Structure 1
Amino acid sequence: MLKQFEAHFKDLGYTEPTAIQTAVYDPMVGDHNVLGLAPTGSGKTVAFTLPALANLLPGDGIQLIVLEPSQELAIQTSRIMRDWAKLLDLKVVALTGGANVKRQTERLKKRPEVIVGTPGRVLNLISDRKLKLHLVSLMIVDEADDLLTGDTLDTVRAIAQAAPAGVQLGFFSATDTPILHELDKWFGQDVERIDVRAEDQTQGTVRHGLLQVGMGKRDQMLKRLLSMPNFRALVFFKQTNALQHTASRFYHDHVSATSLTSDLRQVQREKALQDFRLGRTRLLLTTDVAARGLDIPKLPAVINYDLPQSVNEYVHRAGRTGRMGEPGQVLSLGDDHDLRDLKKLLKETDYDLVPIYFGNRRLTTERPVAPKTPASAAVTTKQAATPQAKVPGSVTSKAATTTAHAPKPVTNAPAAPVQKKKKHKNRHTKNKGMRKKWRDRDAEQK
């Protein structure tokens, strides 16, 4: 590690590198192609930042390109890399979809050494001849298990082909997928596989709870959870329209919540994430756009409003909490059928899913006992006061019988006058006699 990096490493409060940071440094500095597999929150961004920046030359133009799956993650990565790059007098520019293209083009004219972007925007700028990769010596594909799927795989390959032949490649991911075993086939180069998931010790204690709540009561449950002191949570939805419905309801009820979806403008998305990080809002409602890579320090909880459909989805959602040794809580909401399906989905993993309950402004694994209502207490008292029926073969004391049937004491006080209730006659009662006379008269005439 460079001396400048060592000093900054200590200034940030780190005592020693994580497992992935140690494992990939020498191979990457030695120009090897690597695949780094490490758990969420284990410092993968810094793991590829330090060796990648160590080989760059200030003022020589774009030499490093980093691809990220979302705008938020690209902006977060660019900020982290910029913090280290300034130590070596290197410039970092973010190129993301949804941002102003002209402004990004102007920044490219300043000849930055590092580009961090989303694949779609990067390829568009390459096609428009606004971004040239002829000096690029290293390309990093972060969250590779996500980027190397579907149409995005073709986009990433097209970017790699626009770089010089034999460009050094780095792939990083928290979960393993079949395509990560076929990188040589898709990119034409051998890739060294470095997997430290079993030996990494950076993740804190994370509890995985199953909270049985029907669909119609999940918004109410989120409000109840906010009664817990210092509670904040990242809430994952499956569909944007359901998220917007909940967000609208919370807005009218003045609940401390904000939403983060792909249809928002970049400025709105940055503000929502910043407000949540700073504690201005306590619930961040989002889809899986925020499930990957986002670093929210000391996030207490992740809530699955809608349950994930795959193991990888659950892993990346759960990875937002319990990062860098901090404790965390994952809450999965659903009815009995939903929670059984989730258990089946995760049965091959090491996650310990336990039923959890909410009561007295806290989460507990003990099933709460319903308190007796005043009505039930009154019935119990009445039953206790009522004399029991005599069972054949039993003996009842004479005193108890006498007490139970004792007559009321007679007093000499004058009895209150009894008012006769006035009988109400409706029109049918009033004409009853006349109708009989009419029937008799009709009978005589016949």
Structure 2
Amino acid sequence: MLDVFKTKFATEGFTEPSPIQTAVAEPLADGQSILGLAPTGSGKTLAFTWPILEKVRPGEGIQALILAPSQELAMQTTNVVRDWAQLVDVKVLAITGGANVKRQLEKLKKRPEVIVATPGRVMNLVGDGKLKLGHLKMMIVDEADELLTDETLDQIRSILDATFAETLQLAFFSATETKILDDLPRWFGRPVEKIDVRAIDQTQGVVRHRMMEVGNRHRVELLKKISRVDHLRALVFFNKMQLLQHVAIELRHQHASFVALTSNQRQVEREKALRLFRQGKVALLLTTDLAARGLDVPQLPAVINYQLPKDVTTYIHRSGRTGRMGADGLVLTLGDDHDLRDFKKIMADTAYELKRAYLVDYQVVDTKPDRIVPPLAFDHADDAGEPLGNRHRVARSGHPDKVRRTETTAERVIQPAKAVKKRKGHKKHSKKKGMRKKNRDRYGE
């Protein structure tokens, strides 16, 4: 590590590099192509930032390319790399889809040494002859398990063809291992050293993995109540954009504290949503797996799975947004009884300790309240055991139970309701009675 980096490292309060930072430093310095596997939030970005900046030479054009799966992750990485690059007079440029192309082309004329980009935009600029990669020395593929699939895999291989591939150093980083990562030498035509520190990395704080049972009709209401928990901010994950948009409409009507981050938003809208969430001005950030991939929100207290993750890999990436760099965190999965049974099957072969959680007095707790009365058929109260406050509800007439429910934050008490007497013939129309009234009005009887 360069002396200026050591000084900055110490002033920011770090005592020693993380396991992944230590493990990849020498191989990257020696020019080896590697695959680095480490938990989310373990410092992978700095693990490749330092070796890149030690190798590039100011004023010699584009020498390093970092590929990211989303605009947000690309901008986040750019900010980290640029923060360290200014210490060695290296220019860093972000090139992402959704941003102004003309502005990016103007900045390319300033000859940056490091580019952080999304594959699609790089391919477009290379194809138009606007981006030259002939002097590229190193290419980093971040979140490789996500990027090396289907269309983006083809794009990355095409980008490689636009370089002097024989001498180009490659580095792949991921939190999870997929089959494609075992076949990197075959796909990219060179040996790739695997460096896996997941078993020894202890940078993650204590993260509670909890499940909360709630029916589909009451999930939005529960989410709103969770947003009122003191000091809680949470990334809320959805599988489908349509459901995310529906929930956003419901929360907006209920004046909940939230923003949404989706792939179909304009870049300025996405940046604003992230800024408000990171600054703590809203409690919830509704998003999808693709939009939030790799996002780093410092000291994020919680992650909420509004919809079940489709597999263990998805759960690992979602839960990795909280508990980063030693901080504590909470991962809360919502669902009805059937959902939670399916979720347990998905997670059966993992080491995660999954427990039930309850919302009591606007706090997420592990202890079940002393008394929870099952909701009546006509009164779909909270399925998750959360308090509804001091409210009184009277049973609809004709319901066999005929009770009045008095609900408090501590318990629910069922009390008998007063019987409602009906008069015989009540509300029945009588033609004869109506005619007598008409005659009285006419003749003054």
Q: Same fold per TM (> 0.5)?
A: yes
Distance 1:45 1:377, change over 3 A: closer
1:294 corresponding residue in structure 2: 295
Contact 1:247 1:259 (C-alpha < 8 Å) held by counterparts: yes
Q: Which amino acid aligns with 1:86?
A: Q
Q: Which amino acid aligns with 1:106?
A: E
Distance 1:188 1:370, change over 3 A: same
Contact 1:4 1:87 (C-alpha < 8 Å) held by counterparts: yes
Alignment TM-score, normalising by the size of structure 2: 0.84
Deviation at 1:254, TM superposition (A): 1.8
Alignment TM-score, normalising by the size of structure 1: 0.84
Deviation at 1:202, TM superposition (A): 0.3
Q: Which amino acid aligns with 1:301?
A: A
For residue 263 of structure 1, give the secondary structure of its aligned residue in structure 2.
Answer: coil
For residue 290 of structure 2, give the secondary structure of its aligned residue in structure 1.
Answer: helix
Contact 1:234 1:286 (C-alpha < 8 Å) held by counterparts: yes
Deviation at 1:253, TM superposition (A): 2.3
Matches within 5 A, 1:149-164: 149-164=149-164
For residue 132 of structure 2, give the secondary structure of its aligned residue in structure 1.
Answer: coil
Contact 1:291 1:316 (C-alpha < 8 Å) held by counterparts: no
1:405 corresponding residue in structure 2: none
> Is the counterpart of residue 314 in structure 1 residue 315 in structure 2?
yes
Deviation at 1:252, TM superposition (A): 2.7
Relative to structure 2, which stretch is displaced further, 234-243 or 185-194?
234-243
Deviation at 1:376, TM superposition (A): 6.0
For residue 172 of structure 1, give the secondary structure of its aligned residue in structure 2.
Answer: strand
Instruction: Deviation per CA, 1:344-384: give whole Å up to 9, x if none.
Output: 111111111111111122112222233786696766xxxxx
For residue 289 of structure 1, give the secondary structure of its aligned residue in structure 2.
Answer: coil
2:264 corresponding residue in structure 1: 263
Q: Please, which runs of 5 or more residues in structure 1 have no aligned partner?
A: 380-425, 432-446
Relative to structure 2, which stretch is displaced further, 71-80 or 366-375?
366-375
Matches within 5 A, 1:271-286: 271-286=272-287
For residues 36 and 378 of structure 1, what CA distance do their matches in structure 2 show? 63
For residues 371 and 334 of structure 1, what CA distance do their matches in structure 2 show? 18
Deviation at 1:289, TM superposition (A): 2.3
Contact 1:5 1:84 (C-alpha < 8 Å) held by counterparts: yes
Q: Quick check: which one's helix share is greater?
A: 1
For residue 112 of structure 1, give the secondary structure of its aligned residue in structure 2.
Answer: coil
1:71 corresponding residue in structure 2: 71
Distance 1:284 1:371, change over 3 A: closer
Contact 1:98 1:265 (C-alpha < 8 Å) held by counterparts: yes
> Is the counterpart of residue 340 in structure 1 residue 352 in structure 2?
no
For residues 276 and 307 of structure 1, what CA distance do their matches in structure 2 show? 23
1:242 corresponding residue in structure 2: 243
Q: Please, which runs of 5 or more residues in structure 2 have no aligned partner?
A: 374-404, 407-411, 417-429, 436-445
2:9 corresponding residue in structure 1: 9
For residues 360 and 41 of structure 1, what CA distance do their matches in structure 2 show? 32
Distance 1:378 1:35, change over 3 A: closer
Deviation at 1:257, TM superposition (A): 0.5
For residues 359 and 370 of structure 1, what CA distance do their matches in structure 2 show? 12
> Is the counterpart of residue 104 in structure 1 residue 87 in structure 2?
no
Relative to structure 2, which stretch is displaced further, 171-180 or 370-379?
370-379
For residues 204 and 413 of structure 2, what CA distance do their matches in structure 1 show? 49
Contact 2:38 2:197 (C-alpha < 8 Å) held by counterparts: yes
2:203 corresponding residue in structure 1: 202
Q: Which amino acid aligns with 1:338?
A: D
2:393 corresponding residue in structure 1: none
2:115 corresponding residue in structure 1: 115
Deviation at 1:242, TM superposition (A): 1.2
Q: Which amino acid aligns with 2:171?
A: G
Deviation at 1:170, TM superposition (A): 0.4
For residues 171 and 427 of structure 1, what CA distance do their matches in structure 2 show? 88
- Report the aligned-residue RMSD: 1.9
2:46 corresponding residue in structure 1: 46
Instruction: Deviation per CA, 1:107-161: give whole Å up to 9, x if none.
Output: 1000000010000000110000100000000000000011001111000111111
Matches within 5 A, 1:292-441: 292-370=293-371
Deviation at 1:291, TM superposition (A): 3.7
Instruction: Deviation per CA, 1:20-45: give whole Å up to 9, x if none.
Output: 00000111011010100000000000
For residues 31 and 378 of structure 1, what CA distance do their matches in structure 2 show? 76
For residue 31 of structure 1, give the secondary structure of its aligned residue in structure 2.
Answer: coil
1:27 corresponding residue in structure 2: 27
For residue 330 of structure 1, give the secondary structure of its aligned residue in structure 2.
Answer: strand
Instruction: Deviation per CA, 1:149-199: give whole Å up to 9, x if none.
Output: 111100011111111122100000000001111111000000011000000
Instruction: Deviation per CA, 1:74-131: give whole Å up to 9, x if none.
Output: 0000110000111110000000000011110111000000010000000110000100
Q: Which amino acid aligns with 2:127?
A: S
1:435 corresponding residue in structure 2: none
Which runs of 4 or more aligned residues in structure 1 lie more than 4 Å from their structure 2 counterparts after TM superposition?
A: 371-379, 426-429
Relative to structure 2, which stretch is displaced further, 185-194 or 286-295?
286-295
For residues 311 and 371 of structure 1, what CA distance do their matches in structure 2 show? 32
2:84 corresponding residue in structure 1: 84
For residues 214 and 263 of structure 1, what CA distance do their matches in structure 2 show? 29
For residues 259 and 58 of structure 1, what CA distance do their matches in structure 2 show? 39
Contact 2:72 2:292 (C-alpha < 8 Å) held by counterparts: no
> Is the counterpart of residue 227 in structure 1 residue 228 in structure 2?
yes
Q: Which amino acid aligns with 1:121?
A: R
Distance 1:377 1:143, change over 3 A: closer
For residues 70 and 129 of structure 1, what CA distance do their matches in structure 2 show? 23
Distance 1:371 1:210, change over 3 A: closer
The alignment of Structure 1 onto Structure 2 pairs a total of residues equal to 386
Which one has a bigger Cα radius of gyration? Answer: 1
For residues 376 and 345 of structure 1, what CA distance do their matches in structure 2 show? 38
2:148 corresponding residue in structure 1: 148
Q: Which amino acid aligns with 1:54?
A: E
For residues 125 and 154 of structure 2, what CA distance do their matches in structure 1 show? 16
For residue 338 of structure 1, give the secondary structure of its aligned residue in structure 2.
Answer: helix
1:191 corresponding residue in structure 2: 192
Contact 2:41 2:324 (C-alpha < 8 Å) held by counterparts: yes
